[in-house]
Amino acid sequence: MPSQPLPTNSLAADIDRAAAELTPQLIAWRRDIHQHPELSNREFRTSELVANHLRSLGLDEVRTGVAHTGVVGLLKGAKPGPVVALRADMDALPVTEQVDVPFASQARGEYNGEAVGVMHACGHDTHTAILMTVASVLAGLRSRLAGSVKFIFQPAEEGAPEGERGGAALMIEEGALKNPEPDVIFGLHVTSMLPSHVVGVRGGPLMASADQFRIQVRGRQTHGAAPWRGVDPIVTASQVVLGLQTIVSRQIDLTHEPAVVTVGAIRGGVRNNIVPDEVNMVGTIRTFDEAMRDQIHARVRETAEGIAKSARADCEVCIRRGYDVTVNDTALTALMRPTLERVAGAGRMPPMPKVTGSEDFSCFQQVVPGMFFFLGVTPPEKDARTAEPNHSPRFFADEAPLPLGVRALAHLACDWLEAPEPARRLE
């Protein structure tokens, strides 16, 4: 594969200069969005902020209302060339913030009929602010761009509310990757798994698929003093939980890819001396390979149903497929890794392990080649190995590395547009 040329020194320097000058605005946007979080498919204020900013930059096109609240902006360079897309997600989580910062969220919302606190506990506020700033940087360099940049601000990455659709899949259905279709797409995610200013990327599977399962074990209610007169779904469900753990440890080839089967909740019974009629449990399945994914689904059904049958109980297994594996195009990742290494600096791109969390950026990668990477935001005084994780009410994102996120996306876009055509074929 041809090595990727560096951009002209003046362009690279101007990107960095503009990112530095815009840092105060970047931080102001981040804090404003953090203080006013909005749940999935309800990102009305955030999308208006984004759309107004993109219009103020004089972009060639700004579409709103894509997948409910999504925004898509198109910046055409002065010279013809390929198209690169950059994506950020905008939604927050039903989490009550416990971080002591002046811009902490006090927001409340409704999630599936329940009143909840709302917090940017996954860092999407930083993603949105970073991409808004990248738009400013690249709009200022329009006269030197050979090609176009599509800015995709996505709602509902955390999942649409019950009974609704949303997220990347719906954005694609509604034309986010059309007119024009990008040749590649890049995205980032802040994480407490890495120290501040550290960048993580890997080719191939990066983040896991995420599927949900529900298992209902039905027995026959009886007095707890005479369990032989009924069928005990609690004991049976306990055996099912233990049986499920052998799927990963004993029934699949872990030398190929890792996998996780977790029971997250189990409910049954109302009284100490009554064996109930049924027990319900829910859980998640995480895989990095589609064939293994199908295999584990089948094993979950076989295991649960087999154990239930042996106990004279009935069993119903429902598995709902969620986000697919986030797979970085290996050729694209190899081509663009030097850009990230240059921008991050020496020693700031250690080997990145697979992540068992999931991302619907995978939907975009199924349409065009894509690369997703991580930006560490755990401050120096904290240990990334024990820092509060994303989705925690105590998740804290250091703002110091956010300009690095701006520089990384801007340089990736420009380096891709500047790359020779043979390299862009990703062969």
187-199 confidence digits (pLDDT tens): 999 999 999 999 9
| DSSP letter string, 223-266 | ETT-GGGSB-HHHHHHHHHHHHHHIIIIIS-TTT--EEEEEEEE
What is the rounded CA–CA span in Å between residue 427 and residue 425? 6
Does 409 score more than 90 pLDDT?
yes
For the entire predicted model, the pTM comes to: 0.95
User: Do the beta carbons of residue 62 and residue 51 sit within 8 Å?
Assistant: yes
The full set of domains in the chain, from first to last, is 9-206+325-424 (3.40.630.10), 209-320 (3.30.70.360)
| Residue 162 binned pLDDT confidence (cut-offs 50, 70, 90) | very high
**pLDDT the model gives residue 216:** 98
According to DSSP, the β-strands at 370-378 and 184-195 are parallel
Does 166 score more than 80 pLDDT?
yes
197-216 confidence digits (pLDDT tens): 999 999 999 999 999 999 99
**pLDDT the model gives residue 10:** 87
- Tokens representing 168 are 């990347």
Closest among 169, 245, 200, 247 to 355, alpha carbons compared = 200
Closest among 318, 310, 304 to 217, alpha carbons compared = 304
Does 112 score more than 90 pLDDT?
no
Active site residues: 323, 399
* pLDDT above 90 as % of the chain: 96
What is the rounded CA–CA span in Å between residue 33 and residue 29? 6
Look over the chain and give the mean of its residue pLDDT values, rounded to a whole number: 96
Angle (nearest 5°) at CA 170 between 289 and 325: 10
| Residue 9 binned pLDDT confidence (cut-offs 50, 70, 90) | low
User: Do the beta carbons of residue 424 and residue 416 sit within 8 Å?
Assistant: yes
Q: What are phi and psi of 281, to 5 degrees?
A: -135, 150
62-101 confidence digits (pLDDT tens): 999 999 999 999 999 999 999 999 999 999 999 999 999 9
User: Do the beta carbons of residue 138 and residue 148 sit within 8 Å?
Assistant: no
Does 250 score more than 60 pLDDT?
yes
Q: Which residues contact 189 (CB under 8 A, 6 or more apart)?
A: 123, 127, 359, 372, 373, 374, 375
Query: Omega before 180 cis (within 30°)?
Result: yes
| Residue 29 binned pLDDT confidence (cut-offs 50, 70, 90) | very high
